[in-house]
Amino acid sequence: MIPFLIALLVFVGVGAGLTVWLRGGKNAAPQSEPVRRGAEQLAQLRWRDFARLVLQAMHGRGYNPVIGPEDPPDGIPSDGSDILLKRADELALLSCQYGTGATVAPQVVASAATKASLHGASRVIVVTPGRFEGDIADIVANHQVELIDGETLWPEVRPYVARPEEPVPVTSPSAAIPAKTQAFVWLGAALAGTLAFVAVDGLTQSPDSLPSEAVAPQANTAPPAAQRPAAAPSADERPAQPGVPADTRELDQRRKEAANAVATLFGVSRALWSSQSTLMVYLSSENADPFNDICPLLEQYPELAASRIQLQPPEGSDKQVRFKQCRAY
């Protein structure tokens, strides 16, 4: 009787649980779609238009840009640098990380925190239409840093967008699960109930009904794994140099993080590694010279500090390709 009751409970629980989960998934999925579309719309703006939207959102929080004698009237710098904000007696540094790179690396956030200290700002606000990656928890814990990605930013700037391109929500009467899917759900629940019945029925059998060979312990057992001799360490397990990981996958990840960080700099269209020691940096304009900002990002990694930097001018430009190096080998 007990195995039957347990099997019945498993059948009802699995079937009802899957039904609720499927219905909840159908209703919850469309709610995040407008936010995702809004974040994509922000990524299509020019840097100045994006910075203007962010400033309007900051004004809604009570912040106003600190405009110097040589600054533009709207407080948005023409060179894409950070913006100093003031609210009462509080100074905050606003860093708009915008570019074709969809991610912001921890090194960029750390650089913004350092610039905030130099300007006497007690708070850092880093905004991007993309997303943040890597381990930024330590930086946020040591500094008063607020990170705003595209999906978080969209609800705050949406009132200032003239025609937000959001899909019109459609109320579909087909929120119910299709009959075929419902049949598969309860078929799976029946299978789970059958397996539960077999398992419980086997556990409740009396030991006297089992064969004597199954009750008696085996005489010959394999030696415990702990008593087996340990394998000798291979040559690949030798300790690596200090500061440089030995794992090639981790090295590739560090190279990717460095390239993504460079791609977010002002004046940089994109950045990629053409070889193990050459970073190609595609410039968005002829007058852009982000070399001084690239070096601190590469010097975060000892194995990349001496990499060759190839500054590629925009397509159609008369300027020649430049090769530079932050540190000699």
Strand bridging mode 145-148 / 123-127: parallel
Dihedral of CA atoms 31, 34, 35, 40 in degrees, nearest 10, equals: 150
State how far the Cα of 80 lies from the Cα of 288, in Å rounded to an integer. 11
CB 82 within 8 A of CB 115: yes
pLDDT at 234: 41
Place of tokens 């932050």: 326
Which residues are 91's β-sheet partners? 86
**Rg value, the chain, Cα:** 30
pLDDT at residue 68 in the model: 82
**DSSP string covering 231-251, please?**
PPPPGGGS---TTS-S-HHHH
- Whether domain 47-158 has CATH 3.40.1350.10: yes
Yes or no: say if 72 and 66 are a contact pair by the CB < 8 Å rule: no
Regarding pTM above 0.95, the answer is no
Please provide the average confidence, as pLDDT, over all residues in the chain.
79
Distances (CA, A) of 59 to 17, 55, 77, 129, 199: 46, 6, 17, 19, 64
**By C-alpha distance, which of 53, 29, 58 is closest to 42?**
53
User: Domain ranges in the chain?
Assistant: 2-38+180-200, 47-158, 248-325
Residue-level pLDDT at 174: 44
Within 13 Å of residue 80, how many CA atoms lie on the same side as its CB? 17
Report the topology of domain 248-325.
Answer: GMP Synthetase; Chain A, domain 3 (3.30.300)
Contact call for residues 107 and 300 (beta carbons, < 8 A) = yes
The number of residues making up the chain comes to: 329
- Closest by CA to 36, choosing from 172, 167, 132, is 167
**What is the predicted pLDDT for the residue at 77?**
85
Mention every residue, 6+ apart, whose C-beta is less than 8 A from residue 214.
none
| Angle formed at CA 232 by CA 229 and CA 235, multiple of 5 degrees | 170
Q: DSSP per residue over 59-122, as a string?
A: HHTT-EE---TTS-TTS--TT---EEEEETTEEEEEEE--SS--EE-HHHHHHHHHHHHHTT-S
Separation CA 100–CA 128 (nearest Å): 11
Closest CA to 107 of 240, 256, 248, 257: 257
pLDDT in tens, the chain (329 residues): 787 788 788 888 887 888 888 776 555 444 466 677 777 778 788 888 888 889 999 999 999 999 888 888 888 887 778 899 999 999 999 998 876 556 888 898 899 889 999 989 999 999 988 888 888 887 887 778 999 988 888 888 888 886 555 444 444 444 567 887 878 888 888 888 898 888 877 777 655 544 444 444 444 454 554 445 444 444 344 345 567 888 888 888 988 998 998 889 888 989 999 988 899 999 988 888 888 899 988 888 888 888 999 998 998 888 889 999 998 86
Give pLDDT, residue 93.
92
